[in-house]
Amino acid sequence: MNYSYYPGCTLKTKAKELDRYARSSAEKLGLHLEELEDWQCCGAVYPQAEDEIATKLSAVRALAQAKEKGGKLVTLCSACHHVIKRVNLDMQNNEYIRTRVNNYIAPDAPYAGETQVLHYLELLRDELGFEQLKKSVVNPLKGRKIAAYYGCMLLRPAEEMGMDDPENPKILEDFLRALGAEPVLYPYRNECCGGYIALEDKGQARQNVDKILHSASLAGAEAVITACPLCLYNLAQNAGKERLPVLYFTELLAEALGVKEEA
């Protein structure tokens, strides 16, 4: 099966590993990711205001291109996924936004949210299946106690993101089980790391990060995984007393599939 793929800016720069391990793993699993041409930065935050049109255009351009190429768009960074998924819903359901965006970019055929947006984790769960993933594991991560960190963007608002139960998610834990690791449950896995506040008030980010890492470490975690470069930055760089290694989930995936070295 072929999928269009939207990596996003950060995966071309600071978060190259998130991307690299995802690509080599997908290849090993027989999932063909084809990077979109000329994609633009998604803007990193979903523009909530009804009258914000310009800030939604880059997401629509990516979505419209994916529609022509088979209709399934895979995202990986939590923020890109959040923005593109929600703008797509606006194009489906919000006539005011749909009309203005189409007037602006004037595509050959108006875009109305036809593309299906899949996060890489959803690709593994819903298209490949975690059972199938489990069968492809060559280096099971036996005895590794890993804390899945969801943060905000993948889950909320659940009505729109539709990935998992926002208060008791399990997609990352199921993913870890498929790799043979032992997921560690802890109360702060869906609490905010502070996100962009690190640029406004580092202390505020630090406060959040401390609570999250303390919670994960009390539960016995030896490492934390995330899908978001900004979460990884905050958890790794703005940690106080409590520190844990923070990894992209794709790194563990590549390790379990035996493609980490070649990635």
Q: Considering only residues 70, 107, 110, 166, which one is a binding residue for other proteins as defined by CB under 8 A?
A: 166
Please identify, using beta-carbon distances, which residue of 68 and 200 lies nearer to other proteins: 200
The answer to whether residue 50 forms part of the interface with other proteins (CB under 8 A) is yes
Residue found under tokens 């690791």 = 181
Q: Return the range that interacts with other proteins (CB under 8 A); candidates 6-14, 29-37, 113-121, 140-148.
A: 6-14
Query: Would you give the binding string for other proteins spanning residues 91-130, x where CB under 8 A is met?
Result: ----------------------------------------
As measured in angstroms, the least distance from the Cβ of 100 to other proteins is 13
Work out how close the CB of 186 gets to other proteins at its nearest, in angstroms, rounded to a whole number: 16
DSSP for the chain, please give it. Answer: -EEEEE--GGGGTTTHHHHHHHHHHHHHHT-EEEEPSS-----SS---STT--GGGHHHHHHHHHHHHTTSEEEE-SHHHHHHHHHHHHHHHH-HHHHHHHHHHH--SS---S-SEEEEHHHIIIIII-HHHHHHH-SS--TT-EEEE--TTTTTSSHHHH-SS-SSS--HHHHHHHHTT-EEE--GGGGS---GGGGGT-HHHHHHHHHHHHHHHHHTT-SEEEES-HHHHHHHHHS--S----EEEHHHHHHHHHT-TTT-
Does residue 51 bind other proteins (CB under 8 A)? yes
State the minimum distance, in angstroms, from the CB of residue 94 to other proteins. 9
Task: Answer yes or no whether residue 236 interacts with other proteins by CB under 8 A.
Answer: yes
In the list 39, 130, 233, 249, the residue contacting other proteins (rule: CB under 8 A) is 233
- Which tokens hold the place of 5? 């793929």
For position 10 contacting other proteins by CB under 8 A, the verdict is yes
Binding residue for other proteins, selected from 93, 126, 204, 243, defined by CB under 8 A: 204
Q: How far is the CB of 249 from other proteins (least distance, A)?
A: 16
Binding to other proteins by residue 157, rule CB under 8 A?
Answer: yes
Chain residues binding other proteins by CB under 8 A are: 8-10, 13-15, 41, 43-45, 47-52, 55, 77, 79, 152, 155-158, 166-167, 191-192, 194-201, 204, 208, 228-230, 232-233, 236-237
